[in-house]
């Protein structure tokens, strides 16, 4: 009579219970760490673009971020710098704004007499402000810095050395950079002379002219806003004319309404011109070579 085969019994995997408990505890621990951490927008953006490129099949380029995403923005990487900029902005009562964009950190300074009329010569007030802001953003980063110059809609004088507002705005951007790389560099070298002698501060390193790029915006930004303003006023004029034709208002009321619209247009035009007394400084994520 044949022997009965013994049935095979699988070993009891009691260790899986302990292993599962351990993995659960580790997961809970890391979730706790993540919940107490602060997500860096700059790093998060790098991860998003890094995942997007292989999934979409598109190679990295300047259009999708490219090299500009290699550096974290100034605001998220250096909170002390941002806080100092905010303190200066509070002193100037809303004339300075700091924005974080895809390409980097933008410092917008407006509604101030940065230049003499129809000129690229910096005023004393402008040099004081640019000196304070420049010492912060230049000496705490080695990123590329773009400076944007502007002009308003009024044509340059006939005897001006500038052919157009485009030339004037470019010269204004170049004047700011020259101030940074020449006058401010000398001033900071004297103020930090002890650091220079001790080797703790190298002005040639931070104030390298190759970091800076002047960009003239011309008068097209303000002209776009003026065109929108003109269309708005024209619509209101047509409405007033229709009311007059329908007999809803008298001739004197019609004239008074037109005069009021003209005054409003001039007031808002002057306000726009004050806004475009402006300088923008962009600290790019791209590190200077």
Whether residues 137 and 233 share a domain: the answer is no
The token pair at 38 is: 């602060």
Whether residues 244 and 190 share a domain: the answer is no
**Residue position matching structure tokens 């004319």:** 241
Mean pLDDT of 257-280: 96
CA 252 to chain centre: 49
Distance CA 27, CA 110 (A): 50
The token pair at 150 is: 């502007």
2 domain residue, yes or no: no
Domain's final residue, options 55, 70, 85: 70
Whether residues 282 and 144 share a domain: the answer is yes
Whether residues 149 and 52 share a domain: the answer is no
Whether residues 188 and 172 share a domain: the answer is yes
- Pairing of the two strands 143-149 and 212-216: parallel
Q: Which residues pair with 284 in a beta bridge?
A: 104
How deeply is 14 buried, as exposed, middle or buried, from its count of CB atoms within 10 A (0-12, 13-18, 19+)? exposed
134-167 pLDDT, tens digit each? 999 999 888 999 999 999 999 999 999 999 999 9
pLDDT of residue 138: 93
Distance CA 150, CA 277 (A): 7
106-141 pLDDT, tens digit each? 999 999 999 999 999 999 999 999 999 999 999 988
Distance CA 181, CA 170 (A): 17
Q: How high is the mean pLDDT of the chain?
A: 84
59 domain residue, yes or no: yes
Mean pLDDT of 243-260: 95
If one compares 184 and 64, the residue with the highest pLDDT of the two is 184
Whether residues 142 and 212 share a domain: the answer is yes
Domain's final residue, options 21, 50, 70: 70
31 domain residue, yes or no: no
Distance CA 63, CA 55 (A): 16
Whether residues 58 and 91 share a domain: the answer is no
Q: In three state form, how does the secondary structure of the chain look?
A: CCCCCCCCCCCCCCHHHHHHHHHHHHHHHHHHHHHHCCCCHHHHHHHHHHHHHHHHCCCCCCCCCHHHHHCCCHHHHCHHHHHHHHHHHHHCCCCEEEEEECCEEEEEECCCCCECCCCCCECHHHHHHHHHHHHHHHHCCCEEEEEEECCCCCCCCCCCCCCCHHHHHHHHHHHHHHHHHHHHHHHHHHHCHHHHHHCCCCHHHHCCHHHEEEEECCCHHHHHHHHHHHHHHHHHHHHHHHHHHCCCCCHHHHHHHHHHHHHHHHHHHHHHHHHCCCEEEEEEEEECC
3 domain residue, yes or no: no
Question: Which of 42, 30, 107 lies closest to 285, judged by CA?
Answer: 42
Distance CA 65, CA 79 (A): 23
pLDDT tops 80 at residue 192 = yes
Give the pLDDT band of residue 81 (cuts 50, 70, 90).
Answer: confident
194 domain residue, yes or no: yes
23 domain residue, yes or no: no
Whether residues 206 and 150 share a domain: the answer is yes
CATH code where residue 87 lies: 3.30.1330.60
Instruction: State the residue range of the domain holding 61.
Output: 41-70
Whether residues 193 and 106 share a domain: the answer is yes
pLDDT of residue 36: 61
Average the pLDDT over each of 102-106, 173-177, 241-245 and give the range with the smallest value.
Answer: 102-106
Whether residues 232 and 191 share a domain: the answer is no
Mean pLDDT of 245-265: 95
Average the pLDDT over each of 49-53, 235-239, 241-245 and give the range with the smallest value.
Answer: 49-53
Whether residues 61 and 196 share a domain: the answer is no
Domain's final residue, options 22, 52, 70: 70
Mean pLDDT of 260-284: 95
36 domain residue, yes or no: no
> CA angle, 92 as apex, 89 and 96 as ends, to 5°?
50
Whether residues 66 and 77 share a domain: the answer is no
26 domain residue, yes or no: no
Question: Which of 278, 160, 131 lies closest to 219, judged by CA?
Answer: 278
Give the pLDDT band of residue 50 (cuts 50, 70, 90).
Answer: low
For the chain, how many structural domains are there in total?
3
Distance CA 149, CA 285 (A): 20
């Amino acid at each position: 009579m044949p022997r009965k085969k013994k049935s095979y019994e699988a070993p009891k995997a009691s260790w899986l219970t302990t292993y599962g408990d351990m993995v659960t505890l580790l997961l809970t621990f890391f979730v706790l760490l993540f919940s107490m951490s602060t997500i860096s927008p700059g790093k998060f953006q790098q991860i998003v673009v890094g995942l997007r490129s292989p999934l979409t099949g598109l190679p990295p380029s300047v259009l999708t971020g490219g090299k500009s995403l290699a550096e974290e923005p100034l605001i998220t990487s250096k909170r002390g710098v941002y806080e100092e900029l905010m303190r200066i902005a509070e002193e100037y009562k809303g004339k300075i704004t700091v924005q974080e964009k895809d390409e980097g950190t933008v410092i917008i300074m407006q509604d101030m007499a940065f230049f003499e009329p129809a000129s690229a010569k910096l005023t004393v007030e402008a040099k004081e402000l640019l000196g304070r802001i420049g010492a912060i953003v230049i000496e705490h980063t080695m990123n590329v810095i773009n400076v944007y110059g502007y002009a308003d809609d009024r044509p340059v004088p006939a005897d001006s050395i500038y052919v157009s507002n485009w030339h004037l705005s470019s010269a204004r951007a170049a004047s700011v950079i020259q101030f940074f790389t020449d006058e401010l560099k000398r001033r900071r070298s004297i103020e930090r002379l002890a650091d220079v002698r001790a080797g703790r501060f190298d002005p040639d390193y931070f104030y390298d002219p190759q970091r800076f790029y002047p960009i003239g915006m011309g008068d097209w930004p303000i002209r776009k806003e003026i065109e929108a303003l003109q269309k708005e006023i024209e619509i209101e004029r047509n409405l007033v004319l229709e009311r007059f034709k329908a007999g809803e208002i008298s001739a004197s009321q019609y004239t008074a309404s037109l005069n009021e619209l003209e005054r409003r247009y001039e007031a808002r035009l002057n306000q726009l011109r004050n806004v475009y007394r402006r300088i923008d400084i962009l600290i790019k994520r791209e590190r200077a070579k």
